[in-house]
Amino acid sequence: MKVNQTIFMGDDTLRARHGQESTQNDSNKKSIFAGGLNKAVDPILQKKQQAQKQAMKIVGDTFANDRKIDDDLDERRARIKENWEIIGKAKAELNEISKQRDELRSRYGVEEDSQEQQDLKLLEKEIDARKPGSEIRLTKEEREQIEEIKKNGLTEYQTRSLEMKKSGESYETEIDEAEKVIKTENAVIASVKLERLKKDPMVEAQKNAKEIIDAARDEIIGMLIDESKDHIDEEMEEKKEAAEKAEEKKEEQEEKVEKKNEKEAQEEQFREQIQASTELMTKSDELMDDVQRKVKKILDEMKLLEEDLKGAAVDTVG
């Protein structure tokens, strides 16, 4: 016998998995609801909860990691901002020193295009060329000129101006270091942004979580199908047993009816026999009455005859 069944994984499934009863009458069901199969639903619930837990963990861990990355980027941006502030303050100090040196030149009456000022600039270039990582290079002629200036001796103006320049070296160092930090942090931020453009971690996490949920759903469907098959087999077995009992009961009923009909037939036959006997007795009684009447009539006639004979005898004697 072919049995058409449908498995629903809708509200009834959810209600049953949360301990709620279906409001549909089981006796009228033409479809199998996963929630109404049996009470052993723990494996399915465990599979569902496990899948949800794994999916949430993937998304949660990715989100937490992504949040850490965002926090790290925020810290880097804050560090960049701090270093820009350092640069701003250092440049302000250097500008102040430059201003003081210009005032110093004015007080000493040194012209901008004078040889003394040009020699000072060459001495400044030597200082800048000696700084670590400096890209400034002195030519052979410039080195020879510097040796000649030092040999002849620096002027008071040149000495004081160079001292003021050296006082600003710490600020220059601060600017160099801050610029390096800014460059490094910007490079890291750009790299992270580029990686995110290539592959969004949250999108990937959601994809992985969906794959876990889909796989679990397919497995749960298989479990429900197996469960429904078991239920169908049990239901068919119960129906088979019920049909056998119904057949036995029908046979018993038919046997009872047969016995009842046989008994009624016997009773009818007995009634007919009694009726026949009664009729026979009635007829016998009627016949007896008729015989008695005839006998009585004969006796009466004989009595009359006897009286007549007696009377005749008397008449003869007299």
**In the 3-class helix/strand/coil scheme, how is the chain assigned residue by residue?**
CCCCCCEECCHHHHHHHCCCCCCCCHHHCCCEEHHHCCCCCHHHHHHHHHHHHHHHHHHHHHHHHHHHHHHHHHHHHHHHHHHHHHHHHHHHHHHHHHHHHHHHHHHHCCCCCCHHHHHHHHHHHHHHHCCCCCCCCCCHHHHHHHHHHHHHCCCHHHHHHHHHHHHCHHHHHHHHHHHHHHHHHHHHHHHHHHHHHHCCHHHHHHHHHHHHHHHHHHHHHHHHHHHHHHHHHHHHHHHHHHHHHHHHHHHHHHHHHHHHHHHHHHHHHHHHHHHHHHHHHHHHHHHHHHHHHHHHHHHHHHHHHHHHHHHHHHHHHC
Are 99 and 218 within 8 A, CB to CB? no
- State residue 140's pLDDT score: 94
Question: Is residue 318 a part of any domain in this protein?
Answer: no
**In-domain check, residue 148:** yes
Domain range holding 147?
60-198
Residue 78: inside a domain: yes
Q: What tens digit of pLDDT does each residue of 262-285 get?
A: 777 777 776 776 676 666 666 656
Structural domain tally of the chain? 1
Domain presence at residue 285: no
pLDDT tens for 118-148 read 999 999 999 989 888 888 999 999 999 999 9
Q: How confident is the model at residue 66 (pLDDT cuts 50, 70, 90)?
A: confident
**95 or 229, higher pLDDT:** 95
Q: pTM value?
A: 0.49
Q: Judge whether 97 lies within some domain.
A: yes
Cβ(150)–Cβ(158) under 8 Å?
no
Confirm whether 113 is domain-assigned. yes
Q: Is residue 317 part of a domain?
A: no
pLDDT of residue 260: 72
Q: What percent of the chain has pLDDT over 90?
A: 35
Q: What is the mean pLDDT of residues 211-229?
A: 71
Closest by alpha carbon to 182, among 73, 83, 70, 75? 83
- CB of 124 closer than 8 Å to CB of 161: no
> What pLDDT band is residue 9 in, cutting at 50, 70 and 90?
very low
**80 neighbors 238 (Cβ within 8 angstroms):** no
What does the pLDDT read at residue 35?
47
For residue 117, being part of any structural domain is answered with: yes
Measured in whole angstroms, the distance separating CA 133 from the mean position of its chain's CA atoms is: 60
- Between residues 10 and 179, which one has the greater pLDDT? 179
